[in-house]
Amino acid sequence: MKKSNRGRTESARVCWAGLEGWVRERVQGYVQDLLQEEVTELLGRGKSQRRPAVDALPGSRNGLGKPRKLTLACGTITVRRPRVRALEERFESRILPLFARRTPAVDELLPELYLHGLSEGDFALALRGLLGDDAPVSASTVARLKIKWQADPSRLRTRFDVWSARSLSELEVVYLWAEGIYVKAGLEKEKAAIPSRLRAWLVVVAGLSDGQKVVLAVRAGYRQSTESWSALLRDLKARGMNAPRLVIADGHLGLWGALAGVYPRAEEQRCWNHRIVNVSNELPTKAQAEGRELLTKIPYSESRKEAERCKKEFQDWCRRHGHDKAAALLDRDWERMVTFYRYPKEHWTHLRTTNVVESPFASVRLRTEAAKRYKKVDNATAVIWKVLLVAEKRFRKLNAPHLMKDVYQSVRFVDGVRESKRKNRKDAA
């Protein structure tokens, strides 16, 4: 006698290849049941049940609406909203609002994928295989969802404006890294005023007394001019930021001119990465490898005296081979190149260069290069700001954070050692 299959459970018929479809069908049925249960709760009676003769709640079922697609994190399903008539007020479902096509989780996911480098036009190809062919993931959908980065629930100010105006008076800023990034933004008619190649986004990152690093400012400006940097620094000061002990940046004169006018007591440290590149460019291609090896020894010397010796060694090598321009360039702003020796040795790795800002710029460039050009400057600012805030979550603390408080309190260091300890060492010797 043949065995009957009638007794097998439904799960026995599910196979690995059809698991996704089975799950979506189950979710679709569950959501539809929830919608029906919501109407049952509203009317106080189930489907096909008669209304009580006394004290009956108003309203009655009126069938189902047209099929509509709803995209969840597990895919796109088809549901029909129950209709209700004869109510005093219009029935609005708490489970499935009018015109909703995506769950909040999907709405949050799409802009985050954009931040990580997926272009607006690529969403349909990339996600429809996962969310379904009917998933609403067009370029215009992503553009609308990005507005939420800027829109505050009050709708009176943008989130970026609120962030840019927040008070900084409670922060104890010790170090400040400043850098600019160039992004193509603005329509053709705007380029006559400020060409996109001249528009820079100025970014400031602070090292606090507890060792944390935070993004303080993101602002569009004209190149890295003194006027643009002055406006940014004056804004930081107006919001209560204290004078930093040390500012690390590249050789753009605009920042240094602005710093002298707003925070004249802040010390300056030029980026060694930029200086090594600039000096190497003055050398012939064949000599650059050897020259770079000699140059790199300078900022990694154990003391300023050792750095001076390495500098002389490089310049003597340049003069022997006729590279006088490279030797002379190394002398430029030398005092600002070795300021970091007056700070704790544990912090030197953070203070020699602007890598603190340059590293998150890699994520910014990945996003902005995928977009090619932003139609509005505000859109570019919002994207750069959001990408930097995502990167900020991965910032690690500065080395030896317990020493940050000493630097904040203006404790003096010589060749990376606290001056009192250095004196004790000399006395012991």
Mean pLDDT by 10 residues, the chain (429 residues): 53 77 87 90 83 76 89 86 85 85 79 63 63 68 61 53 92 95 57 52 94 94 87 96 96 89 95 94 94 95 96 95 94 94 96 90 72 65 83 92 95 91 55
> What is the pLDDT, as a whole number, of residue 107?
76
> What is the pLDDT, as a whole number, of residue 370?
61
Half-sphere exposure of 118 (CA within 13 A, CB side): 17
Q: Where are the alpha helices (DSSP H) in 332-401?
A: 334-337, 348-351, 355-371, 377-392
SS3 221: strand
Residue reference for tokens 């002298």: 260
Calculate the alpha carbon distances from 427 to 345, 411, 420, 423 in Å. Answer: 21, 20, 11, 6
Contact between 203 and 215 under an 8 Å Cβ cutoff? The reply is: yes
Contact between 66 and 82 under an 8 Å Cβ cutoff? The reply is: no
Half-sphere exposure of 174 (CA within 13 A, CB side): 24
> What is the pLDDT, as a whole number, of residue 180?
87
> What is the pLDDT, as a whole number, of residue 88?
78
Phi, psi of 41, deg, nearest 5: -65, -40
In whole angstroms, give the CA distance from residue 257 to residue 147.
36
pTM of the model: 0.71
**Contacts by 11-19, CB closer than 8 A, 24 or more apart:** none
Contact between 245 and 277 under an 8 Å Cβ cutoff? The reply is: no
SS3 278: helix
Strands (DSSP E) along 125-192, which ranges? 173-182
Of 300, 311, 254, 247, nearest to 273 by C-alpha is 300
> What is the pLDDT, as a whole number, of residue 424?
57
> What is the pLDDT, as a whole number, of residue 190?
46
Q: Which two tokens stand for residue 78?
A: 């088809």
